[in-house]
Structure 1
Amino acid sequence: MLAIAGFATALSGPLQKGNTSMFAAERHARAERAQLFAKTDPLIAKLQRGERLSNAERRSLDLDHTRIAQLNQEIAACQEARELSAEAGRAMGDSPDSGARDDSAESRAFTAYLRSGVRGPELRAAGEASGSAGGYLVPPGWWQRLQVALKAYGGTAADFQQIETDTGQPMQWATNDPTTTVGVQQAENTLVSNVDYTFGQGTLGAYMFDSGVQLVSLQLAQDSAFNLGAFIMARVAESLGRAQAAAAISGTGSSQPLGIIPALNAASTTGSGGKYTLGTATKVNVAGATGTTGASQITELIGGTLSPASWLGVLKSVDMAYRSLGAKWYMNDTTLQNTRLITNGFGDPYYPELQDDTKPKLYGYPVVVDNNIPNLTASTPSGVIFGHLESAMVLRSVRGAGLMRLDERWADFLQVGFIGYRRFDCRSNDLRAATVVVPAAT
């Protein structure tokens, strides 16, 4: 349930007012980040000269880097929120400077339905969901913007192969493993041998997910200056997006979508995708750490990161044929930040290209941050995923998300409830294309 009273002041004005506050928050975050960069520059220069930092300097640098990472997330969130508001405004036709306004009769009818519950003929023509709760299919423009917003909350699922269908009936598709099929040299005037391809079959369902009830006061719902469409879309997108992102990572596949970690854990062993099981955990040089064998060494699992040899082992476990298609690393922010702290024998960052927070890379492959991925845990598939996920996994979505407006349930609070819902499923496709890490016990 949303605390609507807290939103009244912030959201009752025009959309531009909300954007102005987001701009201010972003400016403050950027200013603080610039100050921290200036503060850390002398320490970074000292490391680059090969000089060692004192314990106090190291702690200060670690704290500043942690804060910079938090500010980067805040800045990204502000940018995402502004973009989402702009997209939503254009979708609902509320942005006066938009060149791509959706002024269709269907869109206007849907906006009227959100505000007042009036069910115009255009909306009925678009399709009414079954039941008596007033559920309707969202118009195409609203659905397209919702799709954009959903991707913002699931960095990993966004890289799955995407399939959209009009209905949610079970869907079969063929799978094939061609890796054992190799061409042969053929002698002149000899019979060419037959090649038999073995196909498998997978089934995609369509599980129902809802956003939970999003409550809005009648005053806000009726306020012509309040962009109700943008507000509802943002809340629905966030809720459904987070549900999809979590299912795509950890879904068991039993009466629910199959997440990539359970899928890879049930697949093959080291060397051909599936899961990469580490050997005995080794020691890693980490800036500012205190370990059992030295002031700058910790066991790789305890540090929430892997040793350089382990990173390379994970990379090598995915065949180059898949790596060349556009493989990526997937990890949560804790793993990323701890990996940035790995140093060489001179105290310098071991992975310079990983320090770029806007486009981090590891061994030349992009890094995607998804905090639905669990931390490294001994003997449990977790922490790091690597591969070409468009080959490894498929995400099936049913077109036409629905929205219900509940007028009676919270009437005595002078509130209206909205429930967004959609159907999707995730299944594995070619798990040779990706690997998940299974860390060793320390």
Structure 2
Amino acid sequence: MSKLKALRESRDKLAKEANALNDKYPADKRMSAEDGQKLDGILAEIQAIDGDIRREQQVADLALENDVDDGGVNNTLRDKHTKEPNKQSDVAAAMRAYMLGGISALTPEQYQLMTARSPSDINNAMSTTVPTEGGYTTAPEWIRQVEQAMKAYGGMYSVSTVMRTATGNTINFPTTDATSEEGEIVGQNAPAGTKDTTFGNKSIGSYMYSSKSIAIPWELLQDSFFDIDGYIQDLLGMRIGRITNRHFTVGTGTNQPAGIVTGAALGKKGKTGQTALVTYEDLVSLEHSVDPAYRNSPGVGYMFHDTTLEALRVIKDKNDRPIFVPGYETGNPGGAPDRILNRPITINQHMAEMAADAKSILFGALNKYRIRLVMDLRLFRMTDSKYTEKAQTGFIGYQRADGALIDVGGAVKYYQNSAT
């Protein structure tokens, strides 16, 4: 058993104990001093284990990024992807053949499959006589693996509404704030009143994102046990996932997507002196700054940086109960996620850490943020002199994407630390 897996199992066991102890007391009953001390001890153990897990994950991520040999290949990622025989669709098999040997390695049937997945605007690039081959949109199961990898590098893909479109034309979304509108009682034979709704407009276009080039030595391409597609999937997920998550979180909206923080409204401002602090009362005010119509809808929760969670763990409510309840077996049937004030939380490392004037905590209907992905990811294979001189083949992926918070009624609010 790996050290990381053992740490997570220990955390799950302690989290179940903490939940069982916390559930003994209803919200309006104060926890006994003995059980309070016991719960504090369990939470302290969980916090220590979370620190160990975070460090182990950071070590693994650093190894993933920095374990590069003289040929520019990430050895950790390479070792992870040893090929195991498995059933592949015809398109996926053609995709792998293309990555290994280019267009000339495709059978006539595979060539037809690949050209069918190539948009007409880049068909002219599909020739073995030019340095860049491809521009193929990837197979469905292939892109699903990339998207899973992208989720691992940021929280926005997990909580947003993701839509995929066939073209990159601008999409206009009508918006309206109907939170203060209501009907009326009409008297007998009296005319009904009128109330015009004011509509606005928000648009989502598309920006071209690149993975930057990926160089792979010929030796690895010739190794039948090397899972070339899995290797590239992880790298594409890492690179495109990080930059898009950053923009979907704090993007300015100028020559890049407008992030969810940019589109959110102020819910609560910290008092003077709270440059790196948030209180229980602040969180209650933040929640109630969101209209109940949104606050009680699906998809509501908190989002913040991991260091903010560390500060929230020690906060207690007026009955001396921790507002943080650890989850267990997250992602598994019967499991439960970590929660703050009984709301699910999403860790997003592109959220600002608590500091002077920082917008450090989001709360609300996070699924009101829409991520638009245009078509499937396009993959190019490059064999020009830049790579040939080093006995390498290059790959690069492109994904068109945009995002925006489609709301004007205050579905998502932020907590802002004090400036002084």
Q: Into which bin does the TM-score normalised by the smaller protein fall?
A: 0.7 to 0.9
Structure 1: runs of 5+ lacking an equivalent: 1-22, 38-45, 81-91, 265-273, 282-298
Listed one character per residue, the Cα deviations across residues 29-48 of structure 1 (whole Å, up to 9, x for unaligned) are 458869999xxxxxxxx984
Residue 312 (structure 1) aligned with residue 284 (structure 2)? yes
Residue 375 (structure 1) aligned with residue 334 (structure 2)? no
- Number of the residue aligned with 1:276: 267
**Of 83, 89, 92, the match for 1:107:** 92
- Contact 1:340-1:355 within 8 A present in 2 as well: no
Residue 413 (structure 1) aligned with residue 394 (structure 2)? no
What TM-score do you get using the length of structure 2 for normalisation?
0.76
**Of 248, 255, 275, the match for 1:301:** 275
Which amino acid in the other structure matches residue 407 of structure 2?
D
Task: Give secondary structure in 2 for the equivalent of 1:403.
Answer: strand
Structure 2: runs of 5+ lacking an equivalent: 16-31, 62-80, 331-336
- Number of the residue aligned with 1:329: 302
Task: Give secondary structure in 2 for the equivalent of 1:248.
Answer: helix
Task: Give secondary structure in 1 for the equivalent of 2:325.
Answer: helix
Q: Does the C-alpha gap of structure 1 residues 76 and 188 become closer, same or farther in structure 2, counting only changes over 3 Å?
A: farther
- Contact 1:116-1:222 within 8 A present in 2 as well: no
Deviation at 1:351, TM superposition (A): 1.9
Q: Does the C-alpha gap of structure 1 residues 403 and 375 become closer, same or farther in structure 2, counting only changes over 3 Å?
A: same
Q: Whole-Å Cα distance in 1 between the matches of residues 402 and 53 of structure 2?
A: 32
* Worse overlay, 27-36 or 124-133: 27-36
- Contact 1:246-1:372 within 8 A present in 2 as well: yes
Q: Does the C-alpha gap of structure 1 residues 243 and 48 become closer, same or farther in structure 2, counting only changes over 3 Å?
A: farther
Deviation at 1:111, TM superposition (A): 0.6
Which amino acid in the other structure matches residue 219 of structure 1?
E
Residue 340 (structure 1) aligned with residue 313 (structure 2)? yes
Q: Does the C-alpha gap of structure 1 residues 47 and 340 become closer, same or farther in structure 2, counting only changes over 3 Å?
A: farther
Q: Whole-Å Cα distance in 1 between the matches of residues 5 and 211 of structure 2?
A: 32
Residue 399 (structure 1) aligned with residue 372 (structure 2)? no
Q: Whole-Å Cα distance in 2 between the matches of residues 325 and 345 of structure 1?
A: 26
Deviation at 1:244, TM superposition (A): 1.3
Alignment of 1:40-55 (within 5 A): 48=34
Which amino acid in the other structure matches residue 312 of structure 2?
T
- Number of the residue aligned with 1:433: 411
Which amino acid in the other structure matches residue 215 of structure 1?
A
Task: Give secondary structure in 2 for the equivalent of 1:400.
Answer: strand
- Contact 2:324-2:338 within 8 A present in 1 as well: no
- Contact 1:165-1:396 within 8 A present in 2 as well: yes
Task: Give secondary structure in 2 for the equivalent of 1:386.
Answer: strand
Deviation at 1:371, TM superposition (A): 1.1
Q: Does the C-alpha gap of structure 1 residues 205 and 309 become closer, same or farther in structure 2, counting only changes over 3 Å?
A: same
- Number of the residue aligned with 1:170: 170
Once the two structures are aligned, what percentage of the paired residues are identical? 25
Q: Does the C-alpha gap of structure 1 residues 412 and 386 become closer, same or farther in structure 2, counting only changes over 3 Å?
A: same
Deviation at 1:149, TM superposition (A): 2.5
Listed one character per residue, the Cα deviations across residues 107-158 of structure 1 (whole Å, up to 9, x for unaligned) are 2221111111235323123216624521322122212322233223231343
Q: Whole-Å Cα distance in 1 between the matches of residues 6 and 322 of structure 2?
A: 31
Task: Give secondary structure in 2 for the equivalent of 1:315.
Answer: helix
Alignment of 1:18-57 (within 5 A): 24-27=2-5, 29-30=7-8, 48=34
Q: Does the C-alpha gap of structure 1 residues 47 and 114 become closer, same or farther in structure 2, counting only changes over 3 Å?
A: farther
Q: Whole-Å Cα distance in 1 between the matches of residues 84 and 286 of structure 2?
A: 48
Task: Give secondary structure in 2 for the equivalent of 1:325.
Answer: coil
- Number of the residue aligned with 2:29: none
- Number of the residue aligned with 2:343: 365
Q: Whole-Å Cα distance in 1 between the matches of residues 258 and 346 of structure 2?
A: 20
